[in-house]
Amino acid sequence: MSDSGFPTARPRRLRRTAPLRRLTTQVRVEPADLVLPLFVKEGIDAPAPIASMPGVVQHTRESLRKAAVEAVEAGVGGLILFGIPAHKDARGSAADDPDGIVQLGLRDLVAEVGDRTVVMADLCLDEYTDHGHCGLLTETGDVDNDATLERYASIAMAQASAGAHMVGPSGMMDGQVAAIRSALDSNGFADVGIIAYSAKYASAFYGPFRDAAECAPQFGDRAAYQEDPGRAVDEAVREAELDVDEGADIVMVKPAVGYLDVVRRVRDAVSVPVAAYNVSGEYAMVEAAAANGWLDRDRAIRETLTSIKRAGADIVLTYWATEAATRLLRD
């Protein structure tokens, strides 16, 4: 009995059966909440498996279209495209080439799925530069922030011209959202949105992605411009607020699982939707553990996605998007 004399409530009553748990759950992951990252590579004639990301491939243009249709038919809310060019140089010329692989891939996606989903493009230079850094370099090998912003503006216009509904600046340059927003607005693309990688940490969990996108730095690392995992969450919140002030329509935290506290704080601080990127290393850990029989793969995927939503993310970028939408979220 409680102090009031009434019988004590027992939360376990609502956990007793699967229908009760389903009826009373407070956090639901819906297919429309998910965004599927896709890689398209120039010069291959069959999808190329990525060893460190079982089940994920570098797509041909043809297989890219097929994967997009499967995702859309499953109800996935969006697609985000990463391009891998055949030729790389110091300024990442392929990134804004109208006939570059990512622009061709965007046109393919728009032609195939049209307005049935949100077509996004990652906007950075690391996939296109021969040095693997996210911007233009000075003579001393440092990233030149302001010169890089000019490249980002040009890339944004190329991606918008190819049909992207949203562009995703991921290089963590100061002022990148403002530069891109200004370029889009001034060139007839005011309706193209920006999903900003606002709190992108210098993380070990990007390793498999760098295999997929073939973008590992050829020297040094990206710690000078990505966020320090050891800094207080206030810095990430400030980055997100700055991006909103500069014109971001959605802000993102990356990675997700190790940074759920950041997701929560950013969600509480901003009025725009918040995305979280369930990154390649987080994906690979579950896949590797499941392959060894160390955990229940389906439960681990559901739990991972639920935890990200519970922390406050409105949108989750995940390599499991199509599978989760097709099967796991409907069981």
User: Which range is least confidently modeled, 5-14, 111-120, 249-258?
Assistant: 5-14
Q: How do residues 90-105 score in pLDDT, each as one tens digit?
A: 899 999 999 999 999 9
Is residue 35 helix, strand or coil?
strand
pLDDT of residue 331: 61
Is residue 154 helix, strand or coil?
helix
| Full set of structural domains in the chain with CATH | 28-328 (3.20.20.70)
Distance (Å, whole) CA 73 – CA 92: 34
> Would you give the end-to-end CA distance of the chain in angstroms?
38
* Average pLDDT of span 125-152: 89
- In the chain, alpha helices (H): 18-24, 61-74, 101-113, 145-161, 176-186, 207-213, 233-246, 260-269, 280-291, 297-311, 321-323
- Is the predicted pLDDT of residue 71 greater than 90, yes or no? yes
Distance (Å, whole) CA 233 – CA 1: 42
Residue that the structure tokens 């590797």 belong to: 288
Nearest residue to 117 via CA among 30, 34, 1: 34
Radius of gyration (Cα) for the chain, nearest Å? 21
25 in Cβ contact with 183 (< 8 Å): no
**How far does Cα 24 stand from its chain's mean position?**
30
Helix axes 297-311, 280-291, angle to 10 degrees: 150
Q: How do residues 53-64 score in pLDDT, each as one tens digit?
A: 999 999 999 999
Confidence of residue 109 (pLDDT cuts 50, 70, 90): very high
For 282, phi then psi, to 5°, come to -65, -40
pLDDT of residue 175: 96
- 309 catalytic? Reply is no
- 88 catalytic? Reply is no
- Is the predicted pLDDT of residue 143 greater than 70, yes or no? yes
Catalytic residue among 41, 66, 88, 200: 200
Cα angle vertex 328, ends 322, 331, to 5°? 135
